A and B are shown apart, each in its own frame.
Chain A
Amino acid sequence: MCLPQIRPAHPRADSSYEDGAPPAGRQIGQIPTDFPVPVADVLRSLAGRGDAGTDFGLTLTLRQPSMLAVMSTPSITPAIHVQGLEKSYKELRVLRGVDLDVARGSIFALLGSNGAGKTTMVKILSTLLKADSGTARVNGFDVATQAAGVRESISLTGQFAAVDEILTGRENLVLIARLRHLRDPGPIADDLLRRFSLTEAGGRRAATYSGGMRRRLDIAMSLIGNPPVIFLDEPTAGLDPEARIEVWQAVRELAAGGTTVLLTTQYLEEAEQLADRIAILHQGRIIVNGTLAELKQLLPPAKVEYIEKQPSLEDVFLAVVGENTVVGENKE
């Protein structure tokens, strides 16, 4: 299969598997070889109403391609399987038939603007909310009828870092370990504090933590008991650039351990940085679903342009203040 040359905009593929090979079933910007129809052809035929394809036009023409997701899913049972999911709050139809599959061990980004229904999706999948219709299975358990099984299989990191501010970081971790009925909560907590560079802060109350530290603690709490599926609802919302990079690092570590991660975000760059697959949720439907490479093919082939490479403000910011702290904190 011939893919157009695309900038290596997927740094994960290169950088995040130092610990070993990617888990089975993970795809990195590649279309599976057993794929029946060339994705690119399908997409081009869908998008091919002339070359006027601005992304707005594409969005309109691509209302139903969520079947692409089904077609390109590997044959093993997906970690998350969603079909025809609908949810309304009174008059407001938040989800209007969402279909999606998340392969085991992959990072799946659900992208959408505010109010697109991302949080509603996550709440339904984590058994906090009941869907009006449709089915959803997580780790093989039905969220409606086998909620207990789902809860055994997941961890939820909600939109706001759900840590207990009055407890210390270590106590937060011990609390969750006890609630997961694990033996030796102490060593588990200490180990996580070390992995998330929180050892020194472990004895301080979480209320004294910075935004990034709180999020790292939050994610560390989600890891306890090694649940196979983790939901991260806007994990970097409201964080400064350094903290965001810290969180990304934490998410990559998670995935490196084989955990399936479904994350929601409204930051395009975040999806680009982390996700194996990306779905765009818009007005209650998945309008696009694929790998980054597949998504990029929705647009006309890349044109070669010569532009002056200016450092972005983020580059400047990180160069001036970020690099030292981040590197320093992540080093053990």
Chain B
Amino acid sequence: MATHFLGDTAVLTGRTMRHVTRSLDTIITTAITPVAIMLLFVYVFGGAIDTGSVSYVNYMLPGILLITIASGISYTAFRLFGDIQGGIFERFQSMPIARSGVLWAHVLTSLVANVISLVVVVGVALLMGFRSGAGVPAWLAVAGILILFTLSLTWMAVIPGLTAKTVDGASAFAYPLIFLPFISSAFVPTDTMPGPVRAFAEHQPVTSIVDAIRHLLTGQPVGTAIWTALAWCVGILVVAYFFANVVYRRRIS
């Protein structure tokens, strides 16, 4: 079985990638919400938000990137749910293939699709005046954090994809994830928030991830934020991967 894992996963990933390339609207819709929020905040609210010396578009782009990922991964749940509904999931399970390859194909596809969406969003941000003096190592670190974040949320998305009863249920879990950056340091500095909200905002994963990315992009020392960010990403990844596989095994046995 193990010998076929890579080959089977590659074949299955090729299939799901075709789903992405043949419905490019999924990439557009993934990018359009974050872009709309970005336009709204930069050109409507942004003027009233004091972010010190940092231009507002530079300030809020990290949060927008996380929103992009949060809305992008819901397509993983959607596609997985579609496979189960359509019966092709069972067909794969009854075939002599590496069984975990079925999930990995969806996860890898999510990774590629989200990277494309992220590039689109960064492109729009550049048009809106986003600039970064970050060097190659800092950009690589940013890419690493974003990929890790995508992986952890995608494995999380696998769970509703496998268990949902309706297509709405499969993608509904993404809404709180999209909302989470709003109660964080992504759009406004947290020190303007009232006590309890501020306490939540400062201790939820998005704030540390946003801060780490922001510091990397603006060339500031990242300090401990990056370790907190990585710990959150890896922690979510491990837990989500574990439960996704528990659900998967229950589903296929």
Closest chain-B Cβ to A147's Cβ sits at a distance in Å of 9
Q: Is B18 a contact partner of A127 (Cβ separation < 8 A)?
A: no
Q: Is B88 a contact partner of A148 (Cβ separation < 8 A)?
A: no
Interface residue ranges of A162-217 to B (CB < 8 Å): 162-167, 171, 175-176, 178-181
Q: Which of A130, A160, A166, A179 contacts B19 (CB 8 A)?
A: A166
Measured CA separation A130–B93 after assembly (Å):
13
Measured CA separation A181–B94 after assembly (Å):
15
Can you list 21 A-B contacts (CB < 8 A)? A123-B90, A148-B1, A151-B94, A151-B95, A151-B96, A152-B96, A154-B94, A156-B90, A156-B94, A159-B87, A161-B87, A162-B87, A162-B90, A164-B15, A166-B22, A166-B23, A171-B18, A175-B15, A180-B95, A180-B96, A181-B7
| Cβ-based interface call for B253 (8 A) | yes
Q: Which of A148, A159, A164 contacts B96 (CB 8 A)?
A: A148
Q: Is A160 a contact partner of B4 (Cβ separation < 8 A)?
A: no
Instruction: List chain B positions with a Cβ less than 8 A from chain A.
Output: 1, 4, 7-8, 11-12, 15, 18-19, 22-23, 86-88, 90-97, 252-253
Q: Is A179 a contact partner of B18 (Cβ separation < 8 A)?
A: no
Given contacts A163-B88, A180-B96, 4 further A-B pairs with CB under 8 A are A158-B91, A178-B11, A180-B95, A181-B4
| Cβ-based interface call for A297 (8 A) | no
Measured CA separation A179–B252 after assembly (Å):
18
Residues of B with C-beta under 8 A to A176: 95
Q: Is A128 a contact partner of B93 (Cβ separation < 8 A)?
A: yes
Q: Is B95 a contact partner of A130 (Cβ separation < 8 A)?
A: no
Residues of A with C-beta under 8 A to B87: 158-162
Measured CA separation A180–B12 after assembly (Å):
12
Residues of B with C-beta under 8 A to A148: 1, 96
Q: Which of A123, A167, A171, A179 contacts B92 (CB 8 A)?
A: A179
| Cβ-based interface call for A264 (8 A) | no
Closest chain-A Cβ to B180's Cβ sits at a distance in Å of 31
Residues of B with C-beta under 8 A to A236: none
Closest chain-A Cβ to B109's Cβ sits at a distance in Å of 12
Tell me which of B8, B12, B87, B94 has the highest count of chain A C-beta atoms within 10 A of its own C-beta.
Answer: B94
Residues of B with C-beta under 8 A to A165: 86
| Cβ-based interface call for A155 (8 A) | yes
> How many residues from A make CB contacts under 8 Å with B?
29
Who on chain A is nearest to B4 by CB? A181
Q: Is B91 a contact partner of A162 (Cβ separation < 8 A)?
A: yes
Q: Is B94 a contact partner of A126 (Cβ separation < 8 A)?
A: yes
Measured CA separation A154–B90 after assembly (Å):
13
User: What 1/0 flags go to A72-95 for Cβ under 8 Å of B?
Assistant: 000000000000000000000000
Closest chain-B Cβ to A184's Cβ sits at a distance in Å of 15
Measured CA separation A141–B253 after assembly (Å):
17
Q: Is B95 a contact partner of A167 (Cβ separation < 8 A)?
A: no
Q: Is A179 a contact partner of B97 (Cβ separation < 8 A)?
A: yes
Closest chain-B Cβ to A99's Cβ sits at a distance in Å of 23
Q: Is A155 a contact partner of B94 (Cβ separation < 8 A)?
A: yes
Q: Which of A128, A160, A166 contacts B252 (CB 8 A)?
A: A128
Q: Is B23 a contact partner of A158 (Cβ separation < 8 A)?
A: no
Q: Is B86 a contact partner of A160 (Cβ separation < 8 A)?
A: yes
Residues of B with C-beta under 8 A to A164: 15, 86, 88
Measured CA separation A156–B15 after assembly (Å):
20
Who on chain B is nearest to A185 by CB? B11
Residues of A with C-beta under 8 A to B92: 179
Residues of B with C-beta under 8 A to A221: 91
Q: Is B94 a contact partner of A128 (Cβ separation < 8 A)?
A: yes
User: What 1/0 flags go to A124-136 for Cβ under 8 Å of B?
Assistant: 0011101000000
Measured CA separation A221–B1 after assembly (Å):
22
Residues of A with C-beta under 8 A to B88: 162-164
Residues of B with C-beta under 8 A to A155: 94-95
Closest chain-A Cβ to B252's Cβ sits at a distance in Å of 7
Tell me which of B7, B15, B23, B88 has the highest count of chain A C-beta atoms within 10 A of its own C-beta.
Answer: B88
Q: Is B91 a contact partner of A156 (Cβ separation < 8 A)?
A: yes
Residues of A with C-beta under 8 A to B15: 164, 167, 175
Measured CA separation A167–B252 after assembly (Å):
24
Residues of A with C-beta under 8 A to B7: 181
Q: Which of B1, B23, B95 contacts A179 (CB 8 A)?
A: B95
Q: Which of B18, B23, B93, B96 contacts A167 (CB 8 A)?
A: B18
Who on chain B is nearest to A151 by CB? B96
Measured CA separation A10–B183 after assembly (Å):
72
Who on chain B is nearest to A222 by CB? B91
Measured CA separation A225–B31 after assembly (Å):
42
Q: Which of B4, B86, B94 contacts A127 (CB 8 A)?
A: B94
Residues of A with C-beta under 8 A to B19: 166
Residues of A with C-beta under 8 A to B86: 160, 162-165
Q: Is A179 a contact partner of B11 (Cβ separation < 8 A)?
A: yes
